[in-house]
Amino acid sequence: MHIPDGFVSDPVAIVGAATSVAVIGYAVVRCGRDLDERRVPLVGATAAFIFAMQMLNFPVAGGTSGHFLGAALAAILLGPWLGAVVMAVVLVVQALVFADGGVTALGVAILNMAVIATLVVGVLSRLVRAVVPPTRAGLLGVAAAGAWLSVMAAALATAVELGMSGTVPYGTVLPAMLGVHAVIGVGEAMITVAALSTVLATRPDLIDGGDRVQAGGQAAVAR
Amino acid sequence: MVAFILAALAVSVLCAALVSPFASSRPDGLERVAEDEGFSDAATVGAIQARSPVADYSVIGLGDDRWATGAAGLIGTLLVFGVVVLGGVVLRRIALFRADL
């Protein structure tokens, strides 16, 4: 979903860029206020992990591949706002340094993968997790669903933008994008759960509420 | 904390440098849809982007193969780590400075 230049029209690119700048700009200011400097290396490691995993394309049906996005992982480990900033930084580096995704389309890509995927799903996940029991299964279940949803949300947004740009008809691009990303989303869920399981097993304190999950799990075993 | 971060970085670098060269080279979801629906030709690449020494995750001068991809992965992973850490420190210092005003 790293949209190349030329796939979206100028108006769509401009609106996407303006929205992204506003949201990510706000997120940066907000995170700067709340950021604990000791967490910075952890944030960096999360960003590095997401960048690395995005390079690992895996085959999905019919001559296509998918790759990890990382929006849900970023949102759960770092919170929705810091997660969005991290995703945006990864996307910017990918576009400017590795020519992965266009530069004029970068605002739209950030809107889809950093704002919509991370922020919206991150906030939703937090709400759901407030009512779901703080068990390991509960956390990982929400993570899996959030991961799948994040990929679908980004795919939907991309399809809508392609339609709005007149690049391809809505009726064609919507089922095509949603269809292939429904499969890719499963991979996203699996990798997200695997990564989170590892963090839960080693440093549960790094996850919002991870401490309670660990304690709850051990208490259940003790009973 | 340090151990955890080093482990996470190690996994990331290993994946990006050693696993990425073997990753699928099939078109990804969007690329595939673009090919199928006939709009992949609309893509353009900016002149500045094309001049990057690591464009398309391939380090210039290392050939067109696994070493080029692996090296790009190594560079990118460390670059992202560095940028985010630097950015985080700067951001925090700015916020502290403004709080003092």
Compare all CA atoms of chain A with the CA of B58 and give the residue at the minimum distance. Answer: A98
- Would you say A43 and A144 are in contact if contact means Cβ atoms under 8 Å apart? no
Picking from A77, A97, A199 by the largest number of B CB atoms within 10 A of its own CB, the best residue to mutate is A97
Identify the bridge partners of residue A59 per DSSP, sorted by sequence position. Answer: A65
The one-character DSSP state at A65 is: E
- pLDDT average, residue stretch A113-128: 85
User: pLDDT by residue for chain B (101 residues), tens digit each?
Assistant: 889 999 999 999 999 999 998 888 888 888 888 888 888 888 888 777 877 888 888 888 777 688 888 999 999 999 999 999 999 999 988 888 888 77
- Would you say A44 and B84 are in contact if contact means Cβ atoms under 8 Å apart? yes
The pTM for the full model equals 0.91
Burial-class residue A2 by CB neighbours within 10 Å (0-12, 13-18, 19+). buried
Tens of pLDDT, residues B28-49: 888 888 888 888 888 888 777 8
Q: Does B83 touch chain A (CB under 8 A)?
A: yes
Q: Does B4 touch chain A (CB under 8 A)?
A: yes
| d(C-alpha B72, C-alpha A25), whole Å | 29
Where does chain A show beta strands of DSSP type E? Answer: 58-60, 64-66
Copy the structure tokens of residue A15.
């609106």
Mention every residue, 6+ apart, whose C-beta is less than 8 A from residue B86.
none
Q: Of how many residues is chain A composed?
A: 223
A85 to each of A164, B12, B88, how far by Cα in Å?
A: 26, 19, 10
pLDDT above 90 as % of chain A: 67
Compare all CA atoms of chain B with the CA of A92 and give the residue at the minimum distance. Answer: B80
C-alpha closest to that of A67 among A77, A57, A75 = A57
Copy the structure tokens of residue B58.
């391939």
| Whether complex ipTM tops 0.90 | yes
| d(C-alpha B45, C-alpha A168), whole Å | 20
Q: How far from chain centre, in Å, is Cα B47? A: 19
Residue A56: is its pLDDT beyond 80? yes
